Amino acid sequence: ALVRLDQGGVDLLITDRSMPGMSGDQLASEVRRRHPKLPIVMVTGFTEAGRATAPEVDVLLSKPLGMAALRRAIASLPAR
């Protein structure tokens, strides 16, 4: 993901919170450092969706996730 983001042309990052090798929170922190204006949406299947996450994450959503909820989340993102 980081290599692809560094190549440019990406308008939004949607990531899972739980991933092998690097957590979604770690990815969000690194993405925000490299690309401070890129909006970040994180998705989780765990019950912590209502809890705080990395401050770099703009929106945290619970799975299962429908397209309507994803559209609303994207529409709610702050302008950067």
pLDDT tens, 8-46? 999 999 999 888 999 898 999 999 999 999 999 999 887
Contact 35, 56 (CB under 8 A): no
CA nearest to 69, candidates 43, 51, 39, 46:
43
Mean pLDDT of the chain: 87
Q: Report whether pLDDT(49) > 60.
A: no
